[in-house]
């Protein structure tokens, strides 16, 4: 076995690692069967998903944007966390000096999970000057007018909302709840849209954690980590002494291997399948399906 994907050697490193950082991307959600609407072909009805994820789209048609997010909230609430989620949640329980940065929006923030791009389950005021935010809103539908986005269809049948030829009732601005703080702005999904900057408080919190000492290990899971700030965290982690371990189906491709420096690891595997095995020295063997019998909600 090449040293970069030697599980035994990795386990040795993991056993002696105290401060651990993880960065998770779309590949982790895709393993749960959740559409990530990234890249080409990210269509929702006849819209490019990337065009719906903007303040401009929300100003133009907040009801349409909310239907898109209402649908994603509903899908996300119905999705089972995959074994990689369970493994990361178990690592967070075992190691309080572990934090996970996620680029995915299908989970909610916690002390050990920092959501770089916000969360589908955060609601905030569309008026930036207001600053109102509500964490952990799981209402499904979010409001009565969004009920068409929260319908479960029998297997094989398509949700009418997803059929661009099926006319849907327009959701008007009046049907979307107003911000309870300023009474002016509309409530909007607490995700970072294109053209918006990341939450400074959240970034500052990550900085504080990073500066607390030497970093032993950084996981890069289900992401090519090419965009900022993801790429920046990898170089910062290296500067703090961390070894990098990449778990991604492409990780061992020829054009990716140049990133793997001596002492780093790369596993070209699906995280849902492989992460429980990689973390075994710390989290033990997860039961079949990855789920711990305890009150594990897989909040990662």
Long-range contacts for 253-261 (Cβ within 8 Å, ≥24 apart)? 256/224, 257/4, 260/4
Q: Mind giving me the DSSP string for 99-158?
A: EEEE--SSS---SSEEETTEEEEEEEESSTTT--EE-----SSSSGGGGGGGPPPPTTPP
- Interface residue with Zn ion among 35, 42, 185, 229 (CB under 5 A) is 185
Of 23, 18, 22, which is closest to residue 95 (Cα–Cα)?
18
- Interface residue with Zn ion among 179, 191, 251, 266 (CB under 5 A) is 179
Residue 117 known to be catalytic: yes
Q: Provide the sign of the torsion angle of the four alpha carbons 294, 205, 50, 31, taken in this order.
A: negative
The response to whether 143 counts as a known ligand-binding position is: no
Q: How far is the CB of 114 from Zn ion (least distance, A)?
A: 24
Of 86, 117, 135, 166, which is the active-site residue?
Answer: 117
Question: Is the CB of 188 or the CB of 243 nearer to Zn ion?
Answer: 188
Paired tokens of 118: 């916000």
Q: How far is the CB of 190 from Zn ion (least distance, A)?
A: 13
Question: Is the CB of 95 or the CB of 127 nearer to Zn ion?
Answer: 127
The answer to whether 109 and 296 have CB atoms below 8 angstroms apart is no
Q: What is the per-residue binding string for Zn ion in 122-141, x denoting contact by CB under 5 A?
A: ---x-x--x-x---------
Residue 236's SS3 state is: helix
Q: How far is the CB of 193 from Zn ion (least distance, A)?
A: 17
Question: Is the CB of 130 or the CB of 147 nearer to Zn ion?
Answer: 130
Question: Is the CB of 131 or the CB of 213 nearer to Zn ion?
Answer: 131
The response to whether 182 counts as a known ligand-binding position is: yes
Q: Strand pairing of 20-24 and 98-102?
A: parallel
- Interface residue with Zn ion among 9, 79, 182, 240 (CB under 5 A) is 182
Number of chain residues interacting with Zn ion (CB under 5 A): 8
Paired tokens of 77: 């609430």
Q: How far is the CB of 134 from Zn ion (least distance, A)?
A: 11
Q: How far is the CB of 177 from Zn ion (least distance, A)?
A: 11
Cα radius of gyration (the chain) = 20
Of 150, 134, 160, which is closest to residue 69 (Cα–Cα)?
150
Percentage helix, strand, coil for the chain under 3-state DSSP, each rounded to 5 = 35, 15, 50
181 is an interface residue for Zn ion by CB under 5 A: yes
- Binding positions for Zn ion, rule: CB under 5 A: 125, 127, 130, 132, 179, 181-182, 185
Annotated binding site for Zn(2+): 125, 130, 179, 182
Please list the active-site residues: 117
Annotated binding site: 125, 130, 179, 182
């Amino acid at each position: 076995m090449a040293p970069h994907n030697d599980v035994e050697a990795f386990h040795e490193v993991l056993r002696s690692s105290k401060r651990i950082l993880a960065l998770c991307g779309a590949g982790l959600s895709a393993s749960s069967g959740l559409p990530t609407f990234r890249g080409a072909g990210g269509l929702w009805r006849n819209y490019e998903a990337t065009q719906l994820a903007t303040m401009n789209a929300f100003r133009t048609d907040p009801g349409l944007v909310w239907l898109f997010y209402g649908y994603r909230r509903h899908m996300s609430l119905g999705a089972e966390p995959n074994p990689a989620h369970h493994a990361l949640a178990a690592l967070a329980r075992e190691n309080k000096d572990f934090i996970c940065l996620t680029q995915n929006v299908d989970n909610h923030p916690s002390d050990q999970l920092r959501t770089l791009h916000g969360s589908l389950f955060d609601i905030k005021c569309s008026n930036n000057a207001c600053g109102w935010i509500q964490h952990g809103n799981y209402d499904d539908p979010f409001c009565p007018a969004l009920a068409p986005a929260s319908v479960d269809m029998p297997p094989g049948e398509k949700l009418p909302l997803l059929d661009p030829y099926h006319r849907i009732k327009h959701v008007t601005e009046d049907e979307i709840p107003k911000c309870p703080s300023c009474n002016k702005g509309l409530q909007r999904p607490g995700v970072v849209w294109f053209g918006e900057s990341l939450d400074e408080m959240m970034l500052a919190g990550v900085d504080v954690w990073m500066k607390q000492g030497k970093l032993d290990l950084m996981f890069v899971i289900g992401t090519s980590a090419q965009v900022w700030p993801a790429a920046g965290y990898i170089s910062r982690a290296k500067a703090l002494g961390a070894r990098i371990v990449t778990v991604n189906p492409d990780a061992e491709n020829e054009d990716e291997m140049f990133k793997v420096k001596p002492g780093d690891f790369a596993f070209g595997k699906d995280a849902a399948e492989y992460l429980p095995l990689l973390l075994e020295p710390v989290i033990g063997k997860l039961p079949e399906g990855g789920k711990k019998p305890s009150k594990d909600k897989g909040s990662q």
